[in-house]
Structure 1
């Protein structure tokens, strides 16, 4: 049961709570031109060890506003009382870091059925398949969820997923000129969480998959993303695509714990992931009206007296998560001092590779 039952005076606003002891931030359906095209009414997403490190930070970076489902951003489980947001990918060079990573990823998967039960009750949702999204370590959670088949999944979009801790550690060794210091337990755990070795199990779930990588990513190189795509296709996956952006690993500015204006890279990734989910989960039509799309798939025009519903703003997300509000940016720009490589809100050329549904 949820330890913090949310109060929902207005489902047009984000809400926060806990489900099976895991903190979450839920963004309600507010797409004005789309409604669910199937049974999926919920997308669950996890942050990573790198920015964005928390549910509110990931919600600000990837709000997926145009998808007519609830989008629920879950915190990674705390490890030995230490929140996962206090870690970073550099910890993967140590045995303690690998064990913390493994515990967070495996606990997130093991607790998902109980978390979903609480979320469905809190949000008034019925049973049915879900969508998955994840960044970095959160992408590993989504892949392991598919591999283990703990819940039915329709579609999953993964941004720079850590496919194998050993591969990530190898990249970190090259970048930092440090060697990993793993004991036997950490080595065995890393082998168990090599999700490339579980490609057959992932493919067997028959969920549509989108893998997103960055050309400047030094933790999860783009070649690893395309290699996973090709491996999944060889193992029988029917719908796997990949997309590559000119970006590094992080999807938000440091420290990556608060809801902050999205970077240029995050805006572009959010646009592509949103469109990808809409193609698979939504019926899109400008004739649906300008009202809020509710969890049961109806628009605000179907409800007497219902007015137009605006997209969630950054202050909405910050307020729901208990953080300080911030004015939404006129145009999202990089927050980490890097040069802007194009207009934040303009279309970015993206070439999908792989199989389409």
Structure 2
């Protein structure tokens, strides 16, 4: 990724980084990507961590609500305070829902501005960003040819329970938060997520077993039973995040991110035409 070819701005109110392909800009496929709430936690940091170098495609990195240019007053600390109050109803639910809803208008505006073709697309997401990618698939409206889910959020309830154990607390589930958990249970929604015919899940060897690794295996198996080409790769030495704190500005690529990037480029090269 070079400074000369990187395009940044806002599209339908969504901050973005767009990187054109090296060849035919009008005919190349498109990959849309969403970052994590952990590092890399902005679109510019995600573009640096996973540049998808060598992939002959448009790469669109989209900022999540309440992140980057849309951080609440007080920045990351204020965001964390919202999470301490109610992570499900204040963060996981509304961020993922809004990001999925605003993708259509942002994509349409970027297509008009940048001139890329309308056709099957690829989706890339990390952690909560992977939930956005799966919502885009499950909710329909886009022809998604391939997806790469890094440190994936496969079942929100498992993530919440893992975070609770980490902090020695129990989350007080309510009917509204259970509704969000059901919406973000992609193992249970495998019939809908199977609309994407090729999904790669990438988890860190050091990530939480019950919160992320086991649900990723469950999702892979559920998709495979539905004739999806689904694979799971475990990256040695990788935790949940794959960039250094604070993860807001572009930073040198860590070895774990380089491996995720390599896997993603290979997957999209095979499945995205």
Q: TM-score, normalised by structure 1?
A: 0.68
Structure 2 CA distance for partners of 1:212 and 1:83, relative to 1, 3 Å: same
Q: Which among 43, 48, 55 is matched to residue 60 of structure 1? A: 48
8 Å Cα contact 2:158/2:212 also seen in 1 = no
Match of 1:51 in 2: 39
Aligned counterpart in structure 2 of residue 16 of structure 1, from 8, 11, 23: 8
Q: Is the Cα contact below 8 Å between 1:53 and 1:256 reproduced in 2?
A: yes
Q: 1:28 aligns with which of 15, 20, 28?
A: 20
1:193 is displaced (CA, Å) by 2.0
Change in Cα spacing, 1:93 to 1:216, as seen in structure 2 (3 Å) is farther
> Is 2:231 the partner of 1:241?
yes
In the alignment, what sits opposite 2:182?
A: 191
Aligned: 1:118 with 2:109: yes
Give CA deviations for 1:25-74 in whole Å, capped at 9, x if unaligned: 0111137xxx79xx762100000111110001100000001110110100
Structure with a larger share of its residues in helix: 2
Q: Equivalents in 1 of 2:263, 2:154: separation in Å? A: 21
Q: Secondary structure at the match of 2:33?
A: strand
RMSD: 2.6
* Cα 1:90–1:275 shift into 2, 3 Å: farther
Contact 1:12 1:29 in 2 (8 A): no
Question: What whole-Å deviation, never above 9, does each CA across 1:90-127 have from its counterpart, x for those lacking one?
Answer: 96564255332211111111122211110101211132
Tell me if structure 2 keeps the 8 A contact 1:17–1:25. Answer: yes
The structure whose Rg is larger is: 1
CA contact (8 A) 2:39 2:241 kept: yes
C-alpha change, 1:121 and 1:82, in structure 2 (3 Å) is closer
Q: 1:193 to 1:223 in 2, by over 3 A?
A: closer
What's 2:191 paired with?
A: 200
Distance 1:40 1:192 in 2: 33
> Aligned match of 2:248 in 254, 257, 276?
257
Q: Which residue of 1 aligns with 2:29?
A: 41
Query: What is the alpha-carbon distance in structure 1 between the residues aligned to residue 80 and residue 155 of structure 2?
Result: 12
**Is the contact between residue 137 and residue 196 of structure 2 (CA under 8 Å) also seen in structure 1?**
no
Is the CA contact (8 Å cut-off) linking 2:153 and 2:212 kept in structure 1?
A: no
Change (3 A) 1:144 1:90: farther
Q: Which residue number in structure 1 is paired with residue 199 of structure 2?
A: 209
1:228 is aligned to 2:229: no
CA contact (8 A) 1:26 1:73 kept: yes
Moved over 4 A (4+): 87-94
- Point out where structure 1 has 5 or more consecutive residues left out of the alignment: 1-9, 283-357
